[in-house]
Amino acid sequence: MYRDPEAASPGAPTRDVVLVSAIITVSLSVTVVLCGLCHWCQRKLGKRYKNSLETVGTPDSGRGRTEKKAIKLPAGGKAVNTAPVPGQTPHDESDRRTEPRSSVSDLVNSLTSEMLMLSPGSEEDEAHEGCSRENLGRIQFSVGYNFQESTLTVKVMKAQELPAKDFSGTSDPFVKIYLLPDKKHKLETKVKRKNLNPHWNETFLFEGFPYEKVVQRVLYLQVLDYDRFSRNDPIGEVSIPLNKVDLTQMQTFWKDLKPCSDGSGSRGELLLSLCYNPSANSIIVNIIKARNLKAMDIGGTSDPYVKVWLMYKDKRVEKKKTVTMKRNLNPIFNESFAFDIPTEKLRETTIIITVMDKDKLSRNDVIGKIYLSWKSGPGEVKHWKDMIARPRQPVAQWHQLKA
């Protein structure tokens, strides 16, 4: 029987099937190679095109950078222009996605640190500190006259934002009321313990006082911090001539407290810096210098030195002090002291800085004090918060010494 040689044996592929399979295989291989070359070319061309865009720049990319060029800092700061400097090669797009937080924050932090560093002798800094020094709080009171009973009525209502005078970062305020020029007869409110925003709501009557004499007097209110073991510390005062007030009905006033006229507001100033290190749980206090200190000696000078007390919850923890500068009202100390303070105890911590006058023959005199904490006066609180906001960097500030 004749058998065709072209015929395939059962189960064996024919020549046409093998040929088609080979053609399909070669086509797929060529396709894969071409796709790989195309992808490689796209990457090369895309990178080259991207680099050219970065070098030349486009309106859209430039506009996108310009929208973020200004960074607003806290009050008193300046707008920082972070746009690229002409002639400087911009960063790669991927770098812009990963770096802006760190680079921008570093820039803001560095500028903020520079603004917080108040350089001695700067007129702007002195003016700024002058504003904070004058903020002694304010007091609300009312005054009126009863013509039928010939009685002057004075009501002391409340005070706000009083500065701290005690170790605990607070005060125990009360008010003395005088009708100047008479200082022999005075009336007093109750003491409000540990309160910088006290409410008194106490009424005082000056009975049997003819109206003709009342209008010749000056109503004088003095706010003081009560101290059980020593002299009461003056906080501030307010005076108002009664001939300038309509006394026919009760008139209510809000008045800013001014430094007391007994000289407590002119004790001098101290420049110091604070540096907080959270990893080491420490604060470094640098006593830099003082100026215009009050003369405490008969010869019209002083022998100043500085004591630094670390307080925690009204308890004394540690004390440091500088050397004594003989006969010098503008001493330069430049002495640093380190205190160990865990982060969780910061809110209950107060640093008390006292400028003293050394006296060989008698007790050393206090020239003035500064209380640094979360709860002190406005200038002190600002310095404390600036220290926390700028860890591991010294923040310097001038402070007015207080009684």
Helix (H, G, I), strand (E, B) or coil at 67: coil
Q: Is the pLDDT of residue 103 over 80?
A: no
Query: Nearest CA to 304 among 293, 318, 320, 312?
Result: 293
Report how far residue 99's alpha carbon sits from residue 103's, in angstroms, rounded to the nearest whole number: 6
Report how far residue 143's alpha carbon sits from residue 149's, in angstroms, rounded to the nearest whole number: 15
**What is the arithmetic mean of pLDDT over 327-337?**
95
Question: 261 is written with which tokens?
Answer: 């006229």
User: What does the pLDDT read at residue 390?
Assistant: 93
Report how far residue 182's alpha carbon sits from residue 161's, in angstroms, rounded to the nearest whole number: 29
Angle value at C-alpha 305, between 301 and 309, nearest 5 degrees: 140
**278 and 391 Cβ atoms separated by less than 8 Å:** yes
User: What does the pLDDT read at residue 68?
Assistant: 33
Place of tokens 């706000």: 160
Under the phi-then-psi rule, with left for phi > 0, alpha for psi from -120 to 50, and beta for the rest, what region is 232? beta
Average pLDDT of the chain, as a whole number: 75
CA atoms within 13 A on the CB side of 403: 21
User: What does the pLDDT read at residue 118?
Assistant: 36
Report how far residue 87's alpha carbon sits from residue 50's, in angstroms, rounded to the nearest whole number: 18
Report the residue count for the chain.
Answer: 403
Instruction: Check residues 35 and 213 and name the one with the higher pLDDT.
Output: 213
Query: Nearest CA to 164 among 381, 315, 312?
Result: 381
Question: 311 is written with which tokens?
Answer: 């307080």
Q: What's the pTM?
A: 0.43
Report how far residue 80's alpha carbon sits from residue 69's, in angstroms, rounded to the nearest whole number: 7
**317 and 336 Cβ atoms separated by less than 8 Å:** no
Helix (H, G, I), strand (E, B) or coil at 123: helix
Instruction: Check residues 29 and 206 and name the one with the higher pLDDT.
Output: 206
CA atoms within 13 A on the CB side of 103: 11
State the amino acid at position 292 in one-letter form: N
**What is the arithmetic mean of pLDDT over 310-331?**
92
Q: Is the pLDDT of residue 105 over 50?
A: no
Cβ atoms within 10 Å of 379's Cβ, excluding its own = 23
Question: 331 is written with which tokens?
Answer: 């001493």
Provide the pLDDT confidence category of residue 329 given band limits of 50, 70 and 90: very high
**What is the arithmetic mean of pLDDT over 73-78?**
34
Work out the burial of residue 272: count CB atoms within 10 Å of its CB; fewer than 13 is exposed, 13-18 middle, 19 or more buried.
buried
**Which letter does DSSP use for residue 313 in this model?**
T
